[in-house]
């Protein structure tokens, strides 16, 4: 069934877009058209921004308890549609349905509960000498999201922005936009004031760039590639906007010589291949001591052999397709490039998997003897490709881990927790897990270097949506 969404959500109502252009949404498993959405234009962007601008004065001064009650209603409305959200995203992105409910639907909705719990603890005034420093809601926020975790990225931004008193214009990725329409329906059901949340769909050119350069947008909050982040940063400079950019990664999983190899490899492979490797925080570089390289390779091969590729709606599938033909071709290009550069293939390869004659599938692929200067060790592949890289000692491992332009995430493994922590502190990344710790949605999320600017989630994510003002008393 093809889902037809022919309206935008602007100023508290569904309305036809200004233009007549449309975009097709393709299913990841077989490439079939599963949706049709508007390709809006700059006029639609103007209307949405104006609605958000008009709504801001009243919304920013609405008592906190009333804003948080509406956030609670939004969470309730979305939770009632968890199964629909999970299946929609599975069809769009290819995440296996066995994990989609948890990662793509339930976890994003829980972020709203986190904001509701944390915001009352946040002090918005402090006395410094003769001044009172206050935090005020920033204004109109353009929320521009990627396709790999579409609901998480919308709710992570919108939930924080609305809770703090900002108003929003959301531009979801045109590759996986359908869950954003469900969010808009839930916003409407929850009873938010008109103009507080606006949804405008389209491409980077038709909607994204007009939003970024719009003079009445006060902040641009983006999840995307580092290349896209550079472009957005350049455009936003024209009007000196606040930016929050969560961009690419090339995260290192450092397995020290005293680590529990079996556990480190098990968790490391699963981390790298979650969502078919289409995760910005994926540990795509596995750093191992020279003396344990062969042992690690055998453990990795055994883990990779357990992956079953197929229809992501089949509960037996534990690795689905990539999101698009373009992404499939890109990842296969990286694999061929690694072979050309002399990396040693341990598993997988660029060919279509035997068990999947159609769909945007790529074999789970592993290379070893990957050197730091190789392309596959430097660039974000965004697919199921793992690079095993040998190191000499702790200092060498840290040097290799820090040898890219990225700094989003990473992991360190050692039976000596203090040693692991010393290594983790020297890795220049925004989030480093020690011995396979779980993701903490209340901790700040974001990157060093070209992995981004600013933080998302938790108290630190909420603080991004405020402006500081000093009241000076005589």
pLDDT in tens, 255-276: 999 999 999 999 999 999 999 9
Q: What is the pTM of this model?
A: 0.95
Distance from first CA to last CA of the chain, Å, rounded? 68
Distance in angstroms (rounded) separating the CA atoms of residues 179 and 143: 15
Percent of the chain whose predicted confidence (pLDDT) is above 90:
96
* Distance of alpha carbon 102 from the chain centroid: 15
pLDDT bin (cut points 50, 70, 90) of residue 98 is confident
Contact 143, 201 (CB under 8 A): no
Q: Please give the structure tokens belonging to residue 404.
A: 């890219």
Report whether pLDDT(143) > 90: yes
Mean pLDDT, residues 171-200 taken together: 98
Q: What is the mean pLDDT of residues 425-448?
A: 94
State the chain's mean pLDDT as an integer: 96
4 burial via Cβ count (<10 Å: 0-12, 13-18, 19+): exposed
124 SS3 class: coil
Per DSSP (E only), the strands in 138-251 are: 140-144, 167-171, 197-199, 219-223, 242-246
- Contact in structure between 216 and 198 (CB atoms under 8 Å): no
Q: How many beta carbons lie within 10 A of that of residue 266, not counting itself?
A: 16
d(CA 197, CA 188): 9
Catalytic residue numbers? 246, 280
**Calpha distance 290→311 (Å, rounded):** 38
| pLDDT bracket for residue 313 (50, 70, 90) | very high
């Amino acid at each position: 069934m093809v889902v037809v969404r022919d309206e935008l959500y602007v100023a508290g109502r569904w309305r036809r877009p200004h233009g007549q252009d449309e975009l097709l949404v393709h299913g990841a498993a077989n490439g079939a058209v599963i949706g049709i959405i508007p390709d809006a234009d700059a006029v639609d962007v103007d209307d949405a921004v104006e609605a958000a601008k008009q709504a801001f004065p009243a919304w920013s001064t609405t008592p906190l308890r009333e804003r948080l009650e509406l956030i609670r209603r939004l969470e309730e409305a979305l939770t009632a549609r968890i199964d629909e959200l999970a299946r929609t995203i599975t069809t769009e992105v290819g995440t296996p349905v066995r994990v989609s409910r948890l990662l793509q639907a339930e976890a994003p909705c829980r972020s709203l509960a986190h904001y509701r719990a944390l915001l009352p603890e946040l002090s918005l005034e402090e006395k410094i000498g003769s001044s009172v420093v206050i935090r005020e809601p920033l204004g109109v926020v353009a929320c521009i999201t990627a396709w790999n975790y579409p609901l998480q990225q919308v709710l992570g931004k919108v939930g924080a922005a609305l809770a703090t008193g900002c108003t929003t214009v959301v531009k979801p990725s045109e590759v996986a936009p359908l869950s954003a329409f469900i969010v808009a329906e839930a916003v409407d059901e929850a009873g938010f004031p008109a103009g507080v949340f606006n949804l405008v769909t389209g491409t980077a050119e038709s909607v994204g760039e007009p939003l970024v350069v719009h003079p009445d947008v006060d902040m641009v909050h983006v999840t995307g590639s580092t290349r896209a982040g550079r472009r957005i940063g350049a455009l936003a400079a024209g009007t000196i906007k606040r930016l929050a950019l969560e961009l690419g990664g090339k995260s290192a999983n450092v397995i020290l010589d005293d680590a529990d190899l079996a556990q480190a490899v098990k968790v490391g492979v699963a981390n790298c291949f979650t969502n078919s490797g289409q995760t910005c925080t994926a540990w795509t570089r596995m750093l191992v001591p020279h003396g344990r390289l062969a042992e690690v390779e055998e453990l990795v091969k055994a883990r990779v052999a357990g992956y079953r590729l197929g229809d992501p709606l089949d509960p037996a599938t534990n690795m689905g397709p990539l999101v698009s033909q373009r992404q499939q071709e890109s990842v296969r290009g990286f694999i061929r490039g690694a072979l050309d550069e002399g990396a040693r293939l341990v598993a997988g390869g660029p060919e279509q998997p035997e068990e999947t004659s159609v769909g945007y599938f790529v074999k789970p692929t592993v290379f070893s003897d990957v050197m730091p200067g190789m392309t596959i060790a430097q660039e974000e592949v965004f697919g199921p490709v793992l690079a095993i890289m040998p190191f000499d000692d702790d200092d060498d491992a840290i040097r290799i881990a820090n040898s890219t332009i990225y700094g989003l995430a990473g992991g360190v493994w050692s039976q000596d927790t203090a040693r692991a922590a010393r290594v983790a502190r020297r890795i220049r990344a925004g989030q480093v897990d020690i011995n396979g710790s779980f993701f903490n949605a209340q901790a700040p999320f974001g990157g060093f270097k070209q992995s981004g600017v600013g933080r998302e989630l938790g108290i630190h994510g909420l603080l991004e949506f405020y402006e500081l003002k000093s009241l000076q008393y005589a």
